């Protein structure tokens, strides 16, 4: 929501400032410049990114309107799942969770937590790590290193769309110059038409430079930045799983392992101790 509000504020400020200064907002509407810059930007994006990345860029840009997928409710559900899973392993034996982690979609435990199941990377991260724990003989520090490697790879993959969009943002001023130069070429060809025609063409050419800088610093650049922030926010989800799994692997009771996970949640979304305790009682 704030992304839309921000874009509106940027555009209203520019148009309002131009109007107050005595300019005509309609002078900013130069279809040729928009076609040159917009077409070149889309083309460069297609050249630089394969189809899967393009889809992620689009979904990521749309996702900035909704904000991060993980919230307090999602974290509470995660803590409930971890507690129930750990408690089940303590009670029935570690080998008893094998069927649950092999087919989480069909598991009587995992099926209670649809928000977690919808997060496929998190499901794979949790189940794959538990499979390593089941195999035995993996020291805690090696398990931590293994999870760090996985988290780092997931982060790199998730940051690609925002990085690609940031690269596009940085290209916009250059594309604006290209549009402006083409406008100047048109201007030079119309010198014989008189000073008024030349002035009109120069103003149109400068719209290209204006549009390139605006898109870079006012719209596309900030959008790429918020996409990256959302990725960083959502990666906390994996850190919570890591902290709880590591404590569990070291032999901590289920409730203590879950507390390690709770403490890893960012303060904005972290449930209180009482809220977590109540959630655990429900999981029991």
Its pTM stands at: 0.86
Regions of the chain where pLDDT drops below 70: 283-284
Q: Which two tokens stand for residue 277?
A: 């305790």
Do 163 and 28 contact (CB within 8 A), yes or no? no
Instruction: List alpha helices for 93-194, DSSP H.
Output: 98-102, 114-118, 120-135, 140-189
Q: Which two tokens stand for residue 216?
A: 């870079």
Cα of first residue to Cα of last residue in the chain, in angstroms, is: 38
Q: Which residues contact 237 (CB under 8 A, 6 or more apart)?
A: 70, 74, 75, 78, 119, 122
Residues making up the chain, counted from first to last: 284
Do 87 and 258 contact (CB within 8 A), yes or no? no
Q: Which residues contact 252 (CB under 8 A, 6 or more apart)?
A: 260
Domains of the chain by residue range? 31-63+71-284
Say what the pLDDT of residue 94 is. Answer: 84
Of residues 281, 244, 199, 229, the one with CA closest to residue 75: 244
């Amino acid at each position: 929501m704030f992304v839309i509000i921000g874009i509106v504020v940027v555009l209203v400020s520019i148009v309002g400032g131009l109007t107050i200064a005595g300019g005509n907002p309609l002078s900013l509407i130069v279809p040729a410049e928009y076609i040159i810059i917009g077409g070149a930007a889309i083309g460069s994006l297609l050249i630089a990114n394969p189809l899967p990345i393009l889809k992620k860029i689009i979904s990521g840009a749309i996702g900035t309107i909704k904000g991060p997928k993980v919230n307090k409710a999602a974290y509470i559900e995660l803590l409930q799942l971890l507690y129930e899973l750990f408690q089940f392993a303590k009670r029935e034996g570690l080998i008893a969770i094998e069927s649950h982690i092999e087919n989480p979609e069909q598991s009587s435990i995992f099926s209670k937590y649809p928000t977690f199941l919808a997060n496929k990377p998190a499901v794979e991260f949790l189940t794959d790590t538990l499979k390593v724990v089941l195999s035995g003989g993996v020291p805690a520090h090696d398990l931590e290193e293994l999870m760090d490697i996985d988290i780092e790879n997931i982060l790199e993959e998730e940051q690609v769309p925002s990085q690609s969009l940031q690269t596009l943002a940085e290209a916009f001023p250059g594309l604006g110059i290209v549009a402006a130069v083409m406008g100047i070429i048109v201007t030079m060809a119309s010198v014989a038409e008189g000073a008024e025609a030349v002035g009109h063409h120069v103003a149109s050419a400068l719209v290209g430079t204006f549009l390139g800088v605006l898109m870079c610093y006012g719209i596309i650049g900030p959008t790429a930045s918020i996409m990256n922030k959302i990725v960083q926010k959502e990666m906390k989800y994996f850190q919570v799983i890591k902290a709880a799994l590591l404590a569990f692997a070291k032999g901590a009771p289920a409730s203590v392992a879950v507390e390690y996970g709770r403490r890893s949640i960012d303060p904005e979304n972290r449930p209180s101790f009482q809220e977590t305790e109540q959630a655990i009682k429900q999981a029991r």
